[in-house]
Amino acid sequence: MAKSNKSNTNTGPDDDGTPELLPAPLAYLNPDFLNSPDGRILRILSEYAEPLSRFRREKIQDTVVFFGSARFASLPDAQNALTILEKPGSAKPAQSSDQPGANDGDALQAALKRAHAGVEMARYYEEARKLAHMLTEWTLTLPGKRRRFVVTSGGGPGIMEAANRGAREAGGKTIGLNIRLPFEQYPNQYITPELNFEFHYFFMRKYWFAYLAKALVVFPGGFGTLDEFFEILTLAQTHKLAKKILVIVYGKEYWKRVLNLEALADAGTISPEDVNGFTMVDTPEEALEVLKDGLTRYHLQPQPARPAHDEGPEIAKTLP
């Protein structure tokens, strides 16, 4: 007689003594299957279908995506961090020998250097917040049943938080596309709760960044920012998406030290016109004017009527 499985057998045997089987779990309710390699396709599809249903329910038509460093703090927070290092409980800056950890002078100087840089770079947090606020104020005046050019971020701290914060303070809905990482990145508090997403797969998160965006605003950042920036430039260069994506690079001083695309053009690895695939700006007001002009020209002109039942997001078509 086969050994019974307590999880799906009944304790009462049939007339012949064979244990009675209980119903097996439904496949889509079976966590062992869903979390297995065989269930990967369903997990991927879920990260397409579930966001799509929420975007449809919240009447999101398209987005403007803000990228930038997760490490920048607001100006008050950055100043407070510097003050703690410079004035650890005293009314005036302490001498280096009196600072906490003074026995490790190099570490202290490195921390002070980072704190001073944090105060300097906090301007980008405040300017991202201001730009998102002004952009949202403008989009709220646009006619139509669906929400246009909704401020979207990666959902975390830094520039992402600043963008969501500015949009929320302006009274608009704002999207956070977070990613589950080994070191937790929690969603910032300014995301609209109904539009707070968390992804397992980076490529599905990138899909929703790229396919809903009508514009990208790139603030100073590191590897993640560069990754998203160059991915959008590549999609534009290859004409893979059948839409115009505006790309605005914010902070000329920073990006001119980081980027040297002319070197790529000189080497023949990109075309000379690829260098002009984005617009550099230095103020929220300048960025807003570029956004309003481009979004109006390319995406607010009369469009073919959509079917009455189609209230979903405007996902870009892919060219063959």
Say what the pLDDT of residue 12 is.
56
Indicate the residue type of 240.
K
User: Does residue 80 belong to any structural domain of this protein?
Assistant: no
User: Does residue 9 belong to any structural domain of this protein?
Assistant: no
Q: What is the DSSP string of 246-262?
A: EEEEE-HHHHHHH--HH
Q: What is the Cα–Cα distance from 256 to 7, expressed in whole angstroms?
A: 63
Say what the pLDDT of residue 301 is.
80
User: Does residue 314 belong to any structural domain of this protein?
Assistant: no
The total domain count for the chain is 1
* Beta sheet of 175-179, edge-to-edge order: 196-199, 175-179, 150-153, 63-67, 213-218, 246-250, 279-281
Say what the pLDDT of residue 127 is.
97
Q: What is the Cα–Cα distance from 295 to 298, expressed in whole angstroms?
A: 5
Indicate the residue type of 289.
E
What stretches in the chain show pLDDT beneath 50? 1-6, 90-94, 98-103
Strand partners, 150: 63
User: Does residue 79 belong to any structural domain of this protein?
Assistant: no
SS3 of residue 300 by DSSP: coil
User: Does residue 320 belong to any structural domain of this protein?
Assistant: no
Say what the pLDDT of residue 48 is.
97
User: Does residue 48 belong to any structural domain of this protein?
Assistant: no
At 65, list the tokens: 């995506």
Instruction: Write the secondary structure of 59-72 as one string of H (helix), E (strand) and C (coil).
Output: CECCEEEEECCCCC
Number of Cβ within 10 Å of residue 103's Cβ equals 9
Q: What is the Cα–Cα distance from 163 to 158, expressed in whole angstroms?
A: 9
Q: Which domain holds residue 137?
A: 58-74+123-299
User: Does residue 317 belong to any structural domain of this protein?
Assistant: no
Nearest alpha carbon to residue 242 among 310, 315, 146: 315
Q: What is the Cα–Cα distance from 200 to 205, expressed in whole angstroms?
A: 8
pTM: predicted TM-score of the whole model, two decimal places: 0.84
User: Does residue 271 belong to any structural domain of this protein?
Assistant: yes
Say what the pLDDT of residue 89 is.
55
Whole-number Cα distances in Å, 21 to 1, 3, 14, 16: 14, 12, 10, 14
Indicate the residue type of 273.
E
With 0-12 / 13-18 / 19 or more C-beta atoms within 10 angstroms meaning exposed / middle / buried, residue 35 is exposed
Say what the pLDDT of residue 90 is.
44
Residue with tokens 């929420």: 54
- Domain of 276, CATH number, reads 3.40.50.450
Whole-number Cα distances in Å, 210 to 21, 80, 228, 247: 49, 36, 9, 12
